[in-house]
Chain A
Amino acid sequence: MAPFDKNDDSVVVIIGTGAGGGVLANELAQKGVKVVALEAGGRYLPEDYINDEWESFGQLAWLDARTTSGSWRVAKDFAGLPAWIVKAVGGTTTHWAGASIRFQDHEWKALTTYGPVEGANLLDWPIDAAEMAPWYEKAETKLGVTRTGDRAGLPGNNNYLVFEKGAKALGYKEVHTGRMAINSADYDGRMACQQTGFCFQGCKWGAKWSAAYTDIPAGEATGNLEVRERSHVARILHNEAGKVTGVEYFDKDGTLQMQKARIVCVAGNSFESPRLLLNSASSMFPDGLANSSGMVGKNYMRHTTGSVYAIFDKPVRMWRGTTMAGIVQDEARHDPSRGFVGGYELETLSLGLPFMAAFLNPGGWGRSFTTALDHYENMAGMWIVGEDMPQATNRVTLSETKDQFGLPVANVHFDDHPNDIAMRNHAYQQGMAIYEAVGATRAFPTPPYPSTHNLGTNRMSEKPEDGVCNRWGQTHDIANLFISDGSQFTTGAAENPTLTIVALAIRQADHIAREMSAGNI
Chain B
Amino acid sequence: MTLEARVVVSRPAFRLDLALRAGPGEVVALLGPNGAGKTTALRALAGLTAMTGGQITLDGQPLHALPPEERPVGMVFQDYLLFPHLSALDNVAFGPRCQGVPKAEARRAAAALLHRVGLADHAAARPRQLSGGQAQRVALARALAVRPRLLLLDEPLAALDAHTRLEIRSHLRRHLEDFDGATVLVTHDPLDAMVLADRLIVIENGGIVQEGSPSEVARRPRTDYVARLVGLNLYRAVAEGARVKVGELLFSTSDRLEGAAFVAFPPAAVALYRSRPDGSPRNLWQARIEGIERHGDNVRVHLDGPITAFADITPAALADLDLTPGQQIWASVKATETHAYPA
Co-complex (A, B): no
